[in-house]
Structure 1
């Protein structure tokens, strides 16, 4: 199955000049969604890790399903002021703005090896922030798995240069 066929492209969203790759068309097709989860699970079998983390909100869709299948704990990396207990926070830049993500201080322990799953990588700002959250929690990043890689925005390349292992299911240009 060619998962690329299930991704809708929306020009000028959320602002002019951005070509948004929409995963809702993939998720609403049960066969395509199941295939996506199966591919993430297969790739994750090559990685040693004991927890799965994902960034709010679209990453949750994929990571929660993988967590269930692999019977691994799931850690939510959320937007600022969404978690009720003590948190670690990281500010970062997006392709079209800035943001903050947080994790509960008790979600990741020393020596945890964390697989980070997200729907898409563009410039890598969100992914780097997720890695920082894992690392300031005394865990280590086992790898990243992204459903979509916007290859010409160099996010994957930037993560690899920093020593992270990265897997992508689908490649698209970012523009």
Structure 2
């Protein structure tokens, strides 16, 4: 865990980085899986993670924390509560009841979708999209497309202030797929 875009002298970053377990060859050979469950087992590291995000977004007039299924659901709600924003879940297909909008994105072998309830966000709101990790950037890019203005009537036009992840796999260059959207990460694996 080499870099981050927070103050690397902040001792919380070292605690967070050291609490993330790397599991080789999971879920398939050649993958070095970044396991955040060990971070969640360390109350101090978990609190540090939430605190760093809250410190960043507390005074930025954020109305929406949009969390990507599933691990964005772990980090997003406590951040939303702490800054007084609503939490909007972005889920895999057929998981949300009611009317949804969806965005498709590419995977290594095929495509997937994420969905959000129609009416979950309002025009003019300011959002941060939260997930545990950015790799190739496809999921975050799809989440941005769910929120930003489109010529489609149900896309109301939210300002995506930033994307926020605990971990970045920098060698996969996912940041490049985010266009002009800023990415804030705590730990960058190079």
Q: TM-score normalised to the size of structure 2?
A: 0.85
Could you tell me which residue of structure 2 aligns to residue 102 of structure 1?
A: 115
Q: Which moved more, 1:91-100 or 1:76-85?
A: 91-100
| Long gaps (5+) in structure 2 | 1-11
Answering whether residue 170 of structure 2 is matched by residue 151 of structure 1, we say yes
Structure-2 separation of matches of 1:123 and 1:61: 21
TM-aligned CA deviation for residue 97 of structure 1: 5.2
Aligned length: 171
Structure with max Cα Rg:
2
Q: Which moved more, 1:136-145 or 1:3-12?
A: 136-145
What RMSD over aligned residues (CA atoms) do the two structures have, in Å? 1.5
Give SS of 2:91's match: strand
Q: Deviations over 1:129-155 (max 9, x none)?
A: 110111253222111111001011111
* 2:185 alignment partner, one of 156, 162, 168: 168
Q: Structure 1 residues 46 and 16, CA, compared in 2 at 3 Å: closer, same or farther?
A: farther
Structure-2 separation of matches of 1:145 and 1:96: 26
Q: TM-score normalised to the size of structure 1?
A: 0.91
Structure-2 separation of matches of 1:46 and 1:151: 28
TM-aligned CA deviation for residue 46 of structure 1: 6.0
Q: Structure 1 residues 95 and 171, CA, compared in 2 at 3 Å: closer, same or farther?
A: farther
Give SS of 1:49's match: coil
| Long gaps (5+) in structure 1 | none
